């Protein structure tokens, strides 16, 4: 028998309930008010009372209102039909929700996440009499460009034999496609979908691997200097307007992954509207079709309180883990985890917990770590590999990277792409600061060659800072030349035009080809009479290289621009230092 309760306290979107029966942490309950059921989650249990966060506006809730507990944890539906969907944080499909509720979304309306009327072409793989266990494949259906595996539900804990399985044909997700039998003769109906608690990681794999394979983003600055690994984690902190969302959209379009999940856990205004408008129109360079065919978007509506931000983060990562279990590579982009942390801070205050730094809960670091730890590359039982890569943006007030959310995130991620207000204001995009940012993952290029270029970049930054004090006239020509090399590297390689159809996405082969010339320029010795001559030369070389970046790879025009760039370079080049020469001999 399911438990019931009465409300004895209301504090914003948190209610205190006196319970008759038993309840569990993260159990879902429904508050009965104005003929509606408002979805809530148990977040603390104290004796015969519990405290619940309400995922709806709490207007009209009164002392004495009834609560019905579901005896189920906060969960999502997993099955075919997730791709191309736009969900809210509770996995309600937003287009259908808007159709059912009108322009202003009503509270208390909860829809099925997966369409029950769509028929899927099911092909059985398992046979009657086969022995199976959780996550084993029973059959498959086509879903967009992928083969969606219909698996034994992950919460089935025993070994089973297949008693019956449907023949190939069209079925709905609600149809029973197989019947399993355990050793005691109990039978279990398996449908195309099942539910899984969002706060529990999916771990139906045989081995967790170290992330070492690069996740190619086709952003030169990232792939070369600040790489991300498949199954790795990275964060993009930066002030408002520095380009976090644009960088995520570019990454989602061009990254070499199978599926992209966008969790707009904090951006509920203009940026989400822009995302919803642009994604269906973006063309997937892999397939030539809409990018939405391999994308899931999860965002909260303005009518939902901040508590739903937490739900959206866990909903997104659970869907990502589900597709990883099929051997696919999934990229999860969370924007922005600062809003999620602020939601935790608000709820912690209402729970009257002892606050940590800047009033965030004392357990902030462990919660953030728990989320990022659900990323990873894994080997499945059949030998295939799948991965979940998590990239989260952080919006620290005033761009202060010392604040608690940024610091807690930096302790657990493998790469830090810090956006700079100075670079953003100078229109240097992506506005990732190459001086402050770092990565623990291997580059797609030769690490020694990358480090050589990085030293030039850092030395040029030091000289630029010195020039601000002593002026250009107080700088030696040799130092001024290093500064010009550093500025050249920044302008032609670190910066990238996201609106240029060619320069927006650069494949690894082209990055290697271009970087070989960059390395030659960084190590070149030049004969300049004075600083003006050096400046004029590098300005001309920079323009020639930018023109070179903007033409299609390996076309006649490409080689024509390459020849013009080399002619400009050789006008003043008189030699090459030994380190650069050796690196070029080895190859980038």
Q: What is the pLDDT of residues 414-473, one digit of tens each?
A: 999 999 999 999 999 999 999 999 999 999 999 999 999 999 999 999 999 999 999 988
239 belongs to an annotated ligand binding site: yes
Flag whether 60 is marked binding: no
How far apart are alpha carbons 499 and 501 in whole angstroms?
6
Helix, strand, coil abundance in the chain, percent, nearest 5: 35, 25, 40
Q: What is the DSSP string of 344-373?
A: HHHHHHHTTPPB-GGG-BTTHHHHHHHHHT
pLDDT at 270: 56
- pLDDT band, very low/low/confident/very high, at 336 (cuts 50, 70, 90): confident
**Residue 238 among known ligand-binding residues:** yes
Confidence of residue 278 (pLDDT cuts 50, 70, 90): confident
Q: Please report the pLDDT score of residue 151 as a whole number.
A: 97
132-185 per-position pLDDT tens digit: 999 999 999 999 899 999 999 999 999 999 999 999 999 999 999 999 999 999
Contact partners, residue 100, CB within 8 Å, separation at least 6 = 109, 111
Annotated ligand binding at 458? The verdict is no
Q: What is the mean pLDDT of the chain?
A: 92
Question: Which range is least confidently modeled, 2-16, 114-128, 238-252, 530-544?
Answer: 238-252
402-408 long-range contacts (CB < 8 A, ≥24 apart) are 403/358, 404/341, 404/356, 404/357, 404/358, 404/360, 404/364, 405/337, 405/338, 405/341, 405/360, 405/364, 405/368, 406/235, 406/237, 408/364, 408/365, 408/368, 408/369
Q: Is 21 marked within a binding site?
A: no
401 is in an annotated binding site: no
Q: Is 400 exposed, middle or buried (0-12, 13-18, 19+ CB in 10 A)?
A: exposed
Does 241 appear as a known binding residue?
yes
Distance CA 498, CA 273 (A): 20
Domains of the chain: 4-73 (2.40.10.170), 82-113+205-439 (3.40.50.300), 120-192 (2.40.50.100), 447-586 (1.10.1140.10)
Provide the strand spans (E) within 74-171. 75-78, 86-87, 120-124, 131-132, 137-143, 146-151, 160-165, 169-171
> Is there a contact between 47 and 57 (Cβ–Cβ < 8 Å)?
no
Residue 292, classified by CB atoms within 10 Å of its CB into exposed (0-12), middle (13-18) or buried (19+), is buried
Q: Residue 25: count other Cβ atoms within 10 Å of its Cβ.
A: 12
Judge contact between 325 and 386, C-beta under 8 A: yes
133's tokens: 């266990």
Contact in structure between 23 and 50 (CB atoms under 8 Å): yes
* pLDDT the model gives residue 482: 96
Mean pLDDT of 294-322: 87
Report the distance separating Cα 530 and Cα 408, nearest Å: 49
Percentage of residues of the chain with pLDDT beyond 70: 98
b/e map 323-338, b = 16+ CB within 10 Å: bbbbbbbbbbbbbbbb
Annotated binding residue at 376? no
Task: Judge whether residue 94 has pLDDT over 90.
Answer: no
């Amino acid at each position: 028998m399911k438990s019931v309760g009465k409300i004895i306290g209301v504090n914003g979107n948190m209610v205190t309930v006196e319970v008759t029966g038993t309840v569990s942490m993260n159990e879902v309950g429904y508050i009965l008010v104005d003929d509606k059921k408002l979805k809530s989650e148990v977040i603390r249990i104290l004796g015969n009372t519990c405290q619940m966060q309400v995922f709806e506006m709490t207007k009209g809730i009164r002392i004495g209102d009834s609560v019905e507990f579901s005896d189920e944890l906060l969960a999502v539906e997993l099955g075919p039909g997730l791709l191309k969907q736009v969900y809210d944080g509770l996995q309600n499909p937003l287009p259908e929700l808007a159709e059912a509720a009108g322009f202003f979304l009503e509270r208390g309306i909860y829809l099925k996440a997966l369409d029950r009327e769509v028929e899927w072409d099911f092909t059985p793989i398992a046979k009657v009499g086969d022995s199976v266990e959780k996550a084993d494949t029973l059959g498959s259906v086509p879903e967009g460009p992928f083969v969606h595996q219909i698996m034994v539900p992950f919460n089935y804990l025993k070994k089973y034999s297949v008693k019956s399985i449907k023949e190939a044909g069209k079925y709905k997700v609600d149809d029973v496609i197989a019947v399993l039998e355990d050793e005691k003769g109990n039978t279990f109906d398996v449908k195309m979908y099942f539910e899984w608690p969002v706060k529990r990681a999916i771990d139906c794999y045989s081995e967790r691997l170290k992330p070492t394979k690069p996740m190619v983003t086709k952003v030169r600055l990232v792939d070369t200097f600040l790489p991300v690994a498949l199954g790795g984690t990275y964060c993009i902190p930066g002030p408002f307007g520095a380009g976090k969302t644009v960088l995520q959209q570019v990454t989602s379009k061009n990254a070499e992954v199978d599926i992209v999940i966008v969790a707009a856990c904090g951006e509920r205004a203009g940026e989400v509207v822009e995302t919803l408008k642009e994604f269906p129109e973006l063309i997937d360079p892999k397939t030539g079709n809409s990018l939405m065919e391999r994308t899931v978007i999860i965002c909260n509506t303005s009518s939902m309180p901040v508590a739903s931000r937490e739900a959206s983060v866990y909903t997104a990562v659970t869907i990502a883990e589900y597709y990883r279990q099929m051997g696919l590579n999934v990229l999860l982009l969370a924007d922005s985890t600062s809003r999620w942390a602020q939601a935790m801070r608000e709820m912690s205050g209402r729970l009257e917990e002892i606050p940590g730094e800047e009033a965030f809960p004392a357990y902030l670091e462990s919660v953030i770590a728990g989320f990022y730890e659900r990323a990873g590359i894994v080997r499945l039982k059949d030998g295939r590999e799948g991965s979940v890569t998590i990239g989260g943006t952080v919006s620290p007030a005033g761009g202060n990277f010392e604040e608690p959310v940024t610091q807690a995130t930096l302790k657990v991620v493998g790469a830090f792409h810090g956006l700079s207000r100075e670079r953003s204001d100078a229109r240097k995009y992506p506005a990732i600061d190459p001086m402050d940012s770092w990565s623990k993952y291997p580059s797609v290029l030769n690490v020694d060659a990358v480090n050589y270029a990085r030293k030039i970049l850092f030395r040029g930054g030091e000289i630029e800072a010195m020039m601000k004090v002593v002026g250009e006239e107080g700088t030696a020509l040799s130092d001024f030349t290093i500064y010009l090399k550093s500025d050249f590297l920044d302008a032609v390689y670190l910066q990238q035009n996201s609106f240029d159809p060619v320069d927006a996405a650069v494949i690894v082969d082209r990055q290697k080809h271009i970087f070989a010339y960059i390395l030659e320029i960084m190590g070149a010795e030049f004969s300049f009479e004075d600083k003006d001559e050096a400046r004029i030369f590098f300005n001309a070389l920079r323009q020639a290289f930018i023109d070179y970046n903007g033409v299609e790879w390996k076309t006649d025009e490409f080689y024509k621009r390459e020849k013009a760039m080399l002619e400009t370079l050789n006008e003043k080049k008189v030699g090459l230092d030994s380190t650069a020469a050796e690196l070029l001999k080895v190859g980038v």
